[in-house]
Structure 1
Amino acid sequence: MNRPGIDVPDDRGRVGLDRAGRDLTGNPSVIVRDVELTGAGWHVLRRTTYDYRRRDGHWSSEQRETYDRGDGATVLLYDAERGTVLLTRQFRYPVYVNGHPDGMFLETAAGLLDGDDPAAAIRREAAEELGVTIGELIPVFAVWTSPGSVTERVHCFAAPYSAASRTSAGGGLAEDGEDIESVELPFGAALKMIETGEIADAKTIMLLQWAALKEVLDIDR
């Protein structure tokens, strides 16, 4: 058979996309029986059938769909001297279609790893989106933000920035359809925007709250 993404390369040159998960052995209470490729556009949608042993010992057959877009990285850029954070604003259609007023989303700079290690990936994204050349990079945590359906793990970092580290205009890559605005906010104002819903992005909220808990910035500025 000549099934794109399985037997023959798809538009992105990928094959064997139905193999993910078939060799998992970490949990003896889970036995993967079948993996069906149901969509392979830019990212990959799979339907997996597996046997699951419940806590009472009973085995049941389960089926789940997973959306695989690869892992990502994000960074909270902060200026401790001036008490500011540097965020992005861009149009996000998925939030727009699901109730966000205009889809213009405030968030930390972020992107997919695309084969890079997380630190290299976020240095790349900070330069492309915000024009910032990162020096010191602080690993904060890695999280799954939608574990019921999305496989992506987001590697979260923080990094100081200053006027000297803003080495280009940023704005994202036009060839990728990006149109990204840089937004500098006082740290205290950014935290208040979580309460008002003006900042509603999970990774951004977690990193801002981490900065508050660690007292990385003065909350009153």
Structure 2
Amino acid sequence: MTTGADVPDRRRRTGLDQHGRDLTGNPRVRILDVQVLSCDWSVVRKTTFDYRHGDGHWSREQRETYDRSDGATLLLHNVRRSTVLLTRQFRLPAYVNGHPDGMLIETAAGLLEGDTAEEAIRREAAEETGRRIGEVEHVFDVYMSPGSVTERLHFFAAPYEDTTAQEGETRGLADEGEDIEVLELPFPAALAMIRSGEIADAKTIMLLQWAALEGPFEHVRN
């Protein structure tokens, strides 16, 4: 008996070993077996499959995938003041992999948790920044780490109300251990922080560069 497959895990899930078994979209891939390696909050699976290479020969492969479900992220901007609203919070994986203190500056983001992408990002913007936002613009959808993580991240942008973030202002859900600092930055300063390495989060860099190239700050790059 396997937890998450035959036996419910702590989130009462079963059948987690069935995910991906019925894929037929790529004739060069034949799924043979899916095993659940871990199923705490997220699910780690090992999939065995046959793969036909470009020269026609087949090989048997195994890959591990980390499934944390899909998410959404949002760049909050105020064009009149040429500012963006970002967050700063502790990220243990970054800390253990060389970030000086693990405190990453990011766009608001979170998992969908059964909501649509727009519903989820409105929820996360309220929880993480406390701001009311205007019309949400869908920017693009991206697989952030397709070699091992299944997550697809939905990117959005939206204006926020003309209010100034208070120094030391913190947000987040206490019962989830969140301690999120709200940062309001001039847009040119945020771009400069990419170059300096102060902003090292991929989703944030992508949205800031989109905003400069074809988004709300196309006219304000320096």
TM-score bucket (shorter structure): over 0.9
Pair 1:202 & 2:202 matched: yes
Q: Partner residue of 2:114?
A: 115
SS at match of 1:211: helix
Q: Is the 8 A contact 1:53 1:60 kept in 2?
A: yes
Alignment of 1:61-76 (within 5 A): 61-76=60-75
Q: Partner residue of 2:220?
A: 219
How many residue pairs end up in the alignment? 218
Pick closer, same or farther for the CA change 1:56–1:188 going to 2, 3 Å.
same
Q: CA deviation at 1:165?
A: 10
Name the CA distance, whole Å, in 1 between partners of 2:160 and 2:196. Answer: 26
Q: CA deviation at 1:115?
A: 0.5
Q: Which runs of structure 1 show a deviation greater than 4 angstroms over 4 or more consecutive aligned residues? A: none
Per-residue CA distance 1:175-212 (angstroms, 9 max, x = gap): 01000000010000000100000001000000000000
Pair 1:155 & 2:154 matched: yes
Where does structure 1 lack aligned partners over 5 or more consecutive residues? none
SS at match of 1:99: coil
Pick closer, same or farther for the CA change 1:220–1:140 going to 2, 3 Å.
closer
Identity of aligned residues (%): 65
Alignment of 1:120-159 (within 5 A): 120-159=119-158
Pair 1:183 & 2:186 matched: no
Q: CA deviation at 1:157?
A: 0.2
Q: CA deviation at 1:220?
A: 5.2
Pair 1:102 & 2:116 matched: no
Where does structure 2 lack aligned partners over 5 or more consecutive residues? none
Q: Is the 8 A contact 1:132 1:165 kept in 2?
A: no
Bigger Cα displacement from structure 2, 114-123 vs 3-12: 3-12
Q: CA deviation at 1:134?
A: 2.1
Q: Partner residue of 1:52?
A: 51
- For the aligned residues, what is the CA RMSD? 1.5
Q: CA deviation at 1:219?
A: 2.5
